[in-house]
Structures are given as C-alpha cells and as structure tokens.
Structure 1
C-alpha cells in the first residue's frame, strides 16, 4: 500500500473504492466499507500439498476462540476417513478434510513416479527398505493410495453475501478486509447461512446465533498471527498481506508444475472470480469438488440490483394498470 493511499481520507477516495458494489473486482473492500485509513488487506494462503492432517489448526482455533465441541464431548470418527469434524459449522471454524484416492499404477506395470512436493524425505537407506507395491490382479503393480488433506476455513470474500443480507449489522467488514460476526448483535435470523456460497456459516442450536471464523480479529489488533497459522507445523496455513500471499502462491504453483504436478491449481486467488477473490485461498492438487469446494462460486447477492429493478418495474406496471382500469370505469 502506498503512502498517499494510506493518508487519503474516505471522502477523497476514488469512487470505485466507495461503490459498495455487490460483484466484480474491488481494489480495497475495507475502504469500500468506510474505513478511511485501512492497513494492508490480510488473509490466508493454504498450501494443501504440505498439509499432514494433524488438526493442530482445529485445536488452536477452538482453544483461542473458546469454540464449543463440534458434536459430543468425544466425537467419533465419521466412518469414511480420519475426519471427525465433517464440515465447517458454528462449532467448527476450521475443518481438516481427508480425501483418500486410488492412484493407478504407472504404465508398463511400474508404479507411477513419485513427485517431490517439497516435504521432508527419509534418509536414502530407509527409502531403500520401503516395501514394494503388491502385485495387481493382472500381474502388474497394484493401485496406489494417496491422501489429499486440506484445512478449510471461511473465505472472507471480497464480496461477502453474508454481510450483504445481515439485517442487524452483526456481520461487518474490518479494517483488514476480513468479515466478522458480532455475536452480541446477531439476532439469529439465519439469513447469512443460505447466502454463503461455501456453506461456511452455521447456527448453534442451543444458542440460536450465527458463528464463523473471525480470522482472529482480536489477535490482529495486537500484531499477532491467527491461532491456526501459528500452530501449523508445516506452514501449510500461511498468513500475511493478501497480495504478498498471492505472489507466494503463484511461485509455489510454478514449482509444482515444473516438478510434474500438472493437476495443481489455485482456488480463490483470482480477483476476477465470482466473489471478487477470496481473502482465504488454496493451492489444490485436484478439482475443487474433490475437497468439497464449489467449482465456480458466485456471490449470491450479485443479482439483487436487477431483481429490485425488475420488481419496481413490475410494481409500476401493476399500479398503472390499476389506475387505467379505475379511470376507464369512471
């Protein structure tokens, strides 16, 4: 952020920053929300290629934010994987997904060549002692298995539909560009829940109010990183200025492509996408649907201006028809 932009008041800011637009690219959502001197926008970059599924982020999030247990005091595994959270909810602001995939063996009966994802490797002597793949039914090498793990979180969208539909102002845009729920103002109407294209927000049944990730707003004000990023042992969850994170993510993606991981892709990093770019974006090793993410999310309030215009037009036509009928009778 340049010095002149930091010192620029809200009244002097360019109109595109104060447009309160519901869709499309938006240079600075914090200024658009009325913060006159916002700091750099911050967010998360989650590199799923180095996630080990340890759940340290889930635990740190719950401990710092005093988030209640997800289900019972001792939740059971879901039966489909090592996942015992299942999804993001009012009581799960971080969710580590475990996706088990069958990987076909390489051509010629040989296992597919391993790709270096940048993770620490065992010493050569230990690698040499690794068991070989069991033979398949056709006499060739059997299929392999790979785990795709990813820590999901609220996307803190540039255009946040949850914020647009909130009638009480409980949801607000912070000076860091993030979206936070003020629980003491939330009336439990639940409008924000269907408005979110990612299914992030939920209500606590015993409470009635909506809750989600705040990107540790209280820690940011004290110069601290969010608890989940601090606890991540592999730096899979990276926190910092959003533009810097995007540059880092593009460099990481390029390295993976050069290493042969052609299926690697960024998700939510494009400011031109359906939510104007996410404040929390991901590097994925497969299609978004594999991780339970919508392939092409769009802010659900994007068409509200057109809807209201058409409604007003319809109301005007109906009023004119009633007036014409009344005058015709006279």
Structure 2
C-alpha cells in the first residue's frame, strides 16, 4: 500500500500562480486535487445539500426566516450555513413561449395564443374542437378566474411564461490563492493534501482576519463562540475515500465531486452542450487558473452574469499587494533610519 502524503511542518501559505496548492503548501506525494463542480442548470432548489451538510458536520440550525426573498431561508453562507441554495426569480428572456408548433412552424400569433391558453390546435387535446379553449382555461373560467389562468400559468405544456428560476448551491470556493491562509496568525487555517482549505476550530482564536480576507464573503464567525467556520469539503469523508455529504445527497447531480482536472473537462463539455441547445448565456465561473484567485477548487456553471447569483464578477486575492506593501514599508523604514542617523551625526558636528 502506498505511503500516505506527509503533512508540512510549517503552516502553509497561499499558492503561487501555476503551482499545485497542496505541493506549494509543502505536502509531499499529494494526491490529485479534489473539488466541486456545481451545474446550476439542473439544480431544483431541494436543499438536500444544505440538510446533508448540517447533518454530517453537526452545523447548528440557523432558524427559519424567509427573509422576504422567495424560498431562500438562509440568505448567504454563514458560520451556520456552509451550503446556501440561492433562489433567483428572473423574468423570462424575450421570445420565450413562441416556439414553433404543428401547423405554425414559425411560431407567431397562433403559438402565442396557445401559450396564453386560449386556442388549442386540432387534435392536441381529446374532445376539444378547433378554436375551443383547452380544459385548463375552461376550468379557470368556471372558477371565476381569467381564462388564461393564474399569473404565470399558460394552460399548456410549456409551463410558466413570465419568469424562470435560477438556483445555485453556493459553497466555499477553496481558492488556489487563498488570502485567508495568508492572514491567519495561529495556523488554524491550513491547506490539506487534497488542495482544500480547512479551519481547525480548536486553534482558531476568533481574530476575524480571515473574514475580511475572503473575496467571496464566505468565512463567518459564530456568534456564540466567536470562532470562524466554513465548508471543509468534508475533509473527514474524502480522506476515507467517500464523497462529500452534499454531493452524495444531491438528487440531480448538480453538485459533482472529483479530481479537479476531470471536473473542468466535464464542465466545458456541459457548457458546449447547453449552448448548442440555445442557452447562450451558459458560462463557467471560477474555473480559470489565470483569474484573480488562481482558480477555485469549487466552481460553477451559471446561466447568467455572476452578479445575478450574488457572486463577484472579478474576484481577487485580497493579499495580492502585501509583498509590494512590505517592500515599500521596508524602504520607507530604511529611508527614515538613514535620515535620523544623518540628522544625529549632523547635530554632533
């Protein structure tokens, strides 16, 4: 049996561009970097990932508060919500609901009328004559509602026409260049052999430096004890060869776990498939090793701009300017020292 990877003796720091984060952190013979690929196009908002995360990791409940934001009862990633399922209610893109139908291959009025639930083409519903409203429309008329049904209902198989749901299960990104690692004074945050970032709660002193260092606003302090908590990518499970709890529980495989290089290839193929199907807004977020954080260990397929999902459009490692700042501070200190020595010697003369 192969020897397990050796853990670095010193607290690891943020990885440099182009290097494997575990290797840069000092791990010897590290396994392939593992991570998450979240395909939001198949997320159904069931929150199974949130529940599984809480159950496995013993994360306390955050209470029930709909926040006035649709079905979102957590609102954001916090110390008590390591997974957050965002619900984005968005108007349908222009032209939705006017797809070609039999007898009207170009779409247009007949198709739009069918979407509105007012006209049913011949033969599409048993017992309905041409030009007669479908059963759904007749039922709503009987109940005293408009013939087209409740707002957003079309009375046809095309479903809703006025809005769509964009859902995304958000999580810690496990950045390649992680500012939180750079600023932690106690070594409570460390880079694992799988390239992920984990908080050791028994070492955390609650200083909060990592909270402001995270470009995604992921890390949070728990009110009752002051320490910081976040996703560990189920370090205990993956160390035993198991799948993280959230990915294991996801019924649609929206959350996929595996070697990061394989996930990136799979994600690129998925984007190409969606664009071929007409989803022109499909794009990947956090997959690029040349971005401001060196690429994320947890990246996403989105169907709209990152800001729509509450993600920063151009995240940057918050400690990127620290080396230059220290150099300038050192030069300034030397200059001040030289000036003080010069003044002292000049005064003696």
Common fold: TM-score over 0.5 = yes
How much does 1:134 deviate? Answer: 7.3
Contact 2:5 2:193 in 1 (8 A): no
Gaps of 5+ in 2: 99-107, 116-123, 126-133, 138-146, 152-159
Residues 1:55 and 2:61 are matched in the alignment? no
Counterpart pick for 1:314 among 324, 327, 332: 332
In 2, the alpha carbon distance for the partners of 1:225 and 1:143 equals 38
Give the structure 1 partner of residue 321 of structure 2: 303
The correspondence of residues 24-103 of structure 1 with structure 2, limited to 5 A, is 25-70=17-62, 72=63, 75-103=64-92
CA distance 1:234–1:129, shift in 2 (3 Å): farther
Cα pair 2:82 2:172 within 8 Å, conserved: yes
* Alignment coverage as a number of residue pairs: 297
Aligned pairs for 1:264-279 within 5 A: 264-279=282-297
User: Judging changes above 3 Å, is the alpha-carbon distance between structure 1 residues 30 and 104 closer, same or farther for their aligned structure 2 residues?
Assistant: closer
Instruction: Compute the displacement of 1:246 (Å).
Output: 0.1
Q: Kindly tell me: are residues 133 and 190 of structure 1, through their superposed partners in 2, closer, same or farther at Cα, counting changes over 3 Å?
A: farther
The alpha-carbon distance between structure 1 residues 268 and 129, as it changes in their structure 2 partners (threshold 3 A), is farther
Query: Do the aligned residues in 2 keep the contact of 1:22 with 1:302 (CA within 8 Å)?
Result: no
Runs of 4+ deviating beyond 4 Å: 6-11, 20-24, 107-111, 128-136
Following the alignment from structure 2 to structure 1, what is the Cα–Cα distance between the partners of residues 240 and 13? 31
Deviations 1:181-226 (A, max 9, x none): 0000001100000000000000011011000000000001111000
- In structure 2, distance between residues paired with 1:235 and 1:130: 34
Q: Work out the CA distance in 1 between the residues paired with 2:344 and 2:329.
A: 22
Whole-Å separation in 2 of the counterparts to 1:239 and 1:251: 16
Q: Aligned to 1:196, which of 178, 189, 214? A: 214
Report the Cα distance in structure 2 between the residues aligned to 1:61 and 1:229, rounded to whole angstroms.
9
Structure 1: gaps (5+ residues) = 12-19, 115-123, 137-141
Question: Aligned in 2, Cα 1:208/1:9: closer, same or farther, shift over 3 Å?
Answer: closer
User: Are residues 296 and 185 of structure 1, via their aligned partners in 2, closer, same or farther at CA, if it must alter by over 3 Å?
Assistant: same
